[in-house]
Amino acid sequence: MNDMENKELFGSEENNTQGETAQAADQPPVSPENAVPRSSQYQYQPPASRPAPPAYGAAPTQTPYGGYSFGQQPADGGAQTPPPSTPPGNQWNFPEYGAPSPKKPTEKKKGSGLKIFAGILGALLGVAVLSFAVFGIYSLMMPQQNIIDAPQSQPSGETSANENVPELETNSKPSDNTVSTDGTLTTAQINEKVAPSVVGIVQYQANYFEPTGEGSGIILSEDGYIATNAHVIENADSLEVVLSDGTTYKGTVVGYDSKTDLAVVKIDANGLTPAELGASGELKVGEKAIAIGNPGGLTYAGSVSEGIVSGLNRSLRAATDGYTMNFIQTDAAISPGNSGGALVNEFGQVIGINSQKLAADGYEGIGFAIPIDEALPILKDLMSYGRVTGRVKLGITAYAVNEYVASVNGIPSGILIDTIDADSTLLATDVQAGDIITQVEGTAVSSFTSLSDLLRDYSPGDQVTLTIFRASQSTGNSRYGYAYGGQTVQGSTFEVKVTLMEDTGATTSSNLQSNSTQGNVQNDQAA
């Protein structure tokens, strides 16, 4: 039942106490003589049989304790009289058995809630204390170096700076921009030194309003002599020379040599910056190599590419009608337009003139430069005479037959004559196309390089003895009657004496020659 029902059945706690006290005062004291059984002594009285509660404001009902009613406070200002002593037998005044005691539902519920809350709080505190105790024991047992202090957490939305972060800052380049102790330069220093000595060369032909070719050049002197490749100025009707600062001049061809693919151009200028020339004979494979020029023409003027010296003494023929030369191989990027530009060592010295590259499918990074040691005598002759002097030739075009090609064709190795020039002294002898020159003055020759090396020690007008092999009869379907398949060709050998001619190298070919070879037979070339 709810609280209202309790009040109707049992009355309020205060009224029940007063009624029970008054009833106890009317009854005689309980003694052993007049005691009755509890079952009859304590009879349940319904609320209707109980005395009515006093009216509101009435004087308190007298009680055995001198007018003090339990559950009531004394009147304001009234004295509280202690209860008189009573006989022991009448000390206790029990309520009737069966009368329900007053209940305080609200206070009881509050007490139970507090007890439950206190129990939960105590359990939590116990768990916390136990956890701290276990952690403390664990910390004492573990080695000190294994304990890592965790960073302190920061309130949400707040950050703190890490004081151990090093400071970062940018720095200007050192003002003392000197070379290294051994004199080598950085790539940037090399470019600063050499770039003013590299020019662009643009060629024009009659009836053309656009350039018909572009390349590079190297300033050789303060008064305007410039080295370049012969194929850069080939077939040009006019030349434009562009300096590194953009200044342009009209260029005039002083001389060119188609065999070595070298040329000299002159501009009317003074106070130019000539390049410092190095010694290509001192190069070693693996040294740094810098190519400076104009790949693609003036669009990419002054481009710098870096690589190494990949090889030395690479025997190749020049890009035009030239004869075989020894080239420097490099993996520095050499593209069309780089021709005639500078190949520079790590000291900023020009050690080669970029000339050609291997452009066949499947090849990358194989470029070639004319060694400055071989180019310099040619350039000096071109500057002084407009042509190469002192160089000799036989007046033929031919193929070089190396030992392998000779073995599979059953013929001796040497220089196989293809054609004979109209002014060659060989026409006065019995030599004809298809014959093979096997020796010059008793020394075997099997390549254009070996032939050039032998003839280099002679001057125009000197006579030399050639050893010639000629097949006795045609034994195959080849151009010269030599069978392919290893069958030995029968023939005869004889000697002839010829007078060497001067090779001016002043003629050029209308088509650039490929630097590639077919199989093991080198391309036909002049000798």
Decide if 341 is inside a domain. yes
176 part of the active site: no
DSSP code string of 293-361: E-TTGGGGTTEEEEEEEEEEEEEEE-SSS--EEEEEEE-S---TT-TT-EEE-TTS-EEEEEEEE--ST
* Consecutive H or E run containing 382: helix 372-385
Q: Residue 161 falls within a domain, yes or no?
A: no
Per the annotation, the verdict on 268 as an active-site residue is no
The pair of structure tokens assigned to 234 is 């080939």
Residue 223 lies in a domain: yes
Among 64, 90, 116, where does a domain finish? 90
Provide the CATH number for the domain around residue 312: 2.40.10.120
Q: 238-242 and 248-257: which strand pairing? A: antiparallel
Farthest CA pair distance, the chain? 185
Structure tokens at 385: 């005479």
* From 69, 258, 303, 339, active-site residue: 339
Q: What is the DSSP string of 464-491?
A: EEEEEEEESS--SSSTTSPPSSSPPPPE
pLDDT given at position 510: 30
Both 424 and 376 in a single domain?
no
Do residues 238 and 324 share a domain?
A: yes
| Shared-domain flag, residues 200 and 283 | yes
Amino acid identity, residue 165? V
Domain that holds residue 42: 3-90
CATH number of the domain that residue 397 is part of: 2.30.42.10
The burial class, CB within 10 Å (0-12 / 13-18 / 19+), for 171 is exposed
Is the same domain home to 195 and 310? Answer: yes
Structural domain contains residue 342: yes
Please check whether residues 344 and 367 belong to one and the same domain.
yes
**What does 125-171 look like in DSSP terms, one character per residue?**
HHHHHHHHHHHHHHHHHS-GGG--PPPPP--TT-----TTPPP----
Contacts of 101 (CB under 8 A, 6+ apart): 95
Shared domain for 78 and 195, answered yes or no, is no
| pLDDT at 31 (0 to 100) | 46
Q: What is the pLDDT of residue 410?
A: 82
Q: Tell me what pLDDT residue 158 has.
A: 58
Same domain, 359 and 290: yes
Q: What is the CA radius of gyration of the chain?
A: 62
Residues 190 and 263 in one domain: yes
Identify whether 131 is part of a domain. Answer: no
Task: Tell me, yes or no, whether 110 lies in a domain.
Answer: no
Task: Give a yes or no: residue 176 inside a domain.
Answer: no
Does residue 351 sit in the same domain as residue 417? no
Per-block mean pLDDT, blocks of 10 residues, the chain (527 long): 43 45 47 47 49 51 46 47 49 49 52 76 80 70 50 55 65 61 88 96 89 94 94 92 95 91 95 93 94 91 94 75 78 91 95 86 86 92 89 87 85 90 88 91 86 85 92 60 63 90 58 29 53
Q: Which of 231, 257, 424, 450 is catalytic?
A: 231
- pTM of the full structure: 0.56
Domain co-membership, 384 together with 303: yes
- In whole angstroms, what is the distance from residue 496 CA to residue 498 CA? 7
**Domain closes at, from 361, 390, 419:** 390
Q: Which residues of 106-128 are buried (b: 16+ CB within 10 A; e: fewer)?
A: eeeeeeeeeeeeeeeeeeeeeee
**Residue 291: exposure state from Cβ atoms within 10 A (0-12, 13-18, ≥19):** buried
* Cα–Cα dist 213/236, whole Å: 9
**284 and 213, same structural domain?**
yes
Instruction: Give the residue ranges of DSSP H helices in 195-313.
Output: 230-233
Domain boundary among 68, 90, 112: 90
Q: Are residues 359 and 373 in the same domain?
A: yes
49 lies in some domain: yes
Pairing between strand 436-440 and 414-420? antiparallel
Active site annotation includes 69: no
Number of domains into which the chain is organized? 3
